[in-house]
Amino acid sequence: LFVSRVKSGSSSRFVLGTAEDDDIGINSLQNYHLSSNPYFKLEVQETKDGGKYAELILLKQLDREEQQTYHMILTAMDGGESKKTGTATILVTVTDINDNTPVFSQASYKGSLKENSPIGMSILQVKASDSDEGSNADITYTIIKIQDSIQKIFNVDSRDGTIILMENIDFEDRQNYVMIMQASDGGGLVAHCNVEIEVLDENDNPPDVILTSISSPVPEDIEPGAVIALIKVHDKDSGENGESCIVTSDEHNVSSPLHNKEKAELHHHCYRGRPVGR
C-alpha cells in the first residue's frame, strides 16, 4: 500500500519505490503497470545498476471538493515465460487549499424591528458557507460599510452572523438602515452581501394641538355654522398611529377631519352648532 497526499490544484510527480524480485536476468523485474484513470499516469525509471522504479505523474489538476481520494492498482511484472506479477494498492488523498471563497445564502437580506425595541435584540442572521475544509472554511462576519452616525447602533456576532441592536432607535429619526456585511474565511478570501433593516412605527408620540386661528370674543348673534376657530393637529407617528380626531367636551359640532398625508396634519374647523347666549 502506497499512500500519498496531494494538494488540490498541484502539478506533481511521486516516486512509488521499487518492487523486489529475487530472480535474475529476464526472470527479474521488468516493468510496471498502473490501472487506468484520467488523472495519473505511470513512468518507469531505471537506475544505473539496472534496477527499475515507478513514478506516479499527475496529469491534471485535482479538486478536493469534487473528489477527496483516488484508489489505483500498481502491478509489477517479471519477464519469465510464465510471467509472475505482484500488486500494490495506491491511495492518493487530496488535501485542501483555499481555492473557494465564502458564499452567502442570499445576495441581500432584509429585516425589520419596532422602534423602542430592547437593546441586545437579535434582528436577523446572515449565513455564508465555504466548500473548503479546516481553517479555510472557518468564516468570520464583520460589518464593513456603515455610516459613522449609525455604526454604534448595530453589531454582528462574528461567529454566527447574527445582527444585534446595540442602541435605541426611533422611527421618527430614521426609518431604514443599510449596511454591507463581509464573510472572511481563514485563508483571507471574502464575500459580501447587502443588509437592509426597516424600522417599524410604534404609537409613542401624543398629538400636538395648535390653535392657528380663533374669533374671540364670539358675538352672541353669530349665525349657526359660522367658523369660530381653526385648529391644527400634528402627530409624529405614521399610519393609523398618526391619525387624530378632536372631541369637544360640549355639544358643539366639529367637522370631519381633513387629513394632509404629506405633512401628517389634521385641520379642524370649529363651527357654531347652536345659538349662543350671554
Q: Exposure pattern of 123-152 as b/e (b: 16+ CB <10 Å)?
A: bbebbbebbbeeebbebbbeeeebeeeeee
Residue 21 corresponds to which amino acid?
Answer: D
Contacts of 196 (CB under 8 A, 6+ apart): 108, 109, 110, 111, 176, 177, 178
Residue 206 cell numbers, joined: 401624543
| Helix ranges restricted to H, 60-101 | none
Which is the CATH superfamily of the domain at 103-200? Cadherins (2.60.40.60)
pLDDT at residue 112 in the model: 95
Residue 30 cell numbers, joined: 521488468
Q: How far, in Å, CA of 90 to CA of 98, rounded?
A: 26
Contact 236, 242 (CB under 8 A): yes
Residue 117 cell numbers, joined: 425595541
pLDDT at residue 146 in the model: 78
**For the chain, domain boundaries:** 2-95, 103-200, 208-271
pLDDT at residue 71 in the model: 93
CA distances from 201 to 63, 111, 128, 196, 233 (A): 52, 14, 31, 16, 19
CATH architecture of 2-95: Sandwich (2.60)
Write the Ramachandran bin of 188: left for phi over 0, alpha for psi from -120 to 50, otherwise beta: left
CA distances from 199 to 34, 111, 167, 181 (A): 66, 9, 13, 19
| CATH topology match: 2-95 vs 103-200 | yes
**Residue among 200, 165, 189, 168 at smallest CA distance from 179:** 165
Query: Average pLDDT by consecutive 10-residue portion of the chain (278 residues)?
Result: 58 78 83 91 85 87 87 90 88 86 96 93 97 92 84 93 94 90 94 95 69 70 71 67 61 43 40 49
Q: How far, in Å, CA of 249 to CA of 128, rounded?
A: 61
Residue 156 cell numbers, joined: 454582528
